[in-house]
Chain A
Amino acid sequence: GNSVTQMEGPVTLSEEAFLTINCTYTATGYPSLFWYVQYPGEGLQLLLKATKADDKGSNKGFEATYRKETTSFHLEKGSVQVSDSAVYFCALLWGNTPLVFGKGTRLSVIA
């Protein structure tokens, strides 16, 4: 079946450091890919998405490129801030089946 694997956390970075959170997927077709973010005490909210190969999703300084050849959708940010501390979830959507989430990666950014 469809699945998402993302890097284990927690990830701890200093402010202004470069962030990469790896995400790879397994799917029978060509899914749409998402990154959701969960700030402390809140529900998940969509951060960015990409619907086809080579698409780049971007929002709030975060970027992720849909790579079909490596079945990946890694999340990157050039300079993280303390306010980026959250749990990040990679997810895929294919056909008429429910969204499949990775297990989440907790990011802590220290000043």
Chain B
Amino acid sequence: EAQVTQNPRYLITVTGKKLTVTCSQNMNHEYMSWYRQDPGLGLRQIYYSMNVEVTDKGDVPEGYKVSRKEKRNFPLILESPSPNQTSLYFCASSLGLSGAPYEQYFGPGTRLTVT
């Protein structure tokens, strides 16, 4: 089944404790992206990647890191989480950006709470 998986689905952590949220897709997609969803603010893009070893900042990259060493994986890293990073996070992937245009497939979300 074609899908985007995220782990963990739920995470409660404390300020300053490094964490990684994994994202994996099995559709051989080139484009991957991370979003955060907050009430009243909608979806805001954190980082995106057009292909392996190519990453770019989105609208709200501060406090986050990403890497794209393999095509299928795009982990989101919070080196020193703070309470304002409490949010619902979504990973997404698509074949590309321009062209078709290509549908984005979303993971089920990771609800992160930083205390």
Contacts and interface: CB of A to CB of B under 8 A. Distances in A.
Given A98-B48, A103-B41, A104-B43, A44 B90 contact: yes
B42 A99 contact: no
Interface residues of A, number: 21
B107 interface: yes
Nearest to A8: B40
Interface string A71-111: 00000000000000000010001011111011110000000
Given A42-B109, A43-B107, A43-B109, A95 B42 contact: no
A30 to B, nearest CB: 12
A99 B41 contact: no
Interface of A: 32, 36, 41-46, 49, 51, 89, 93, 95-99, 101-104
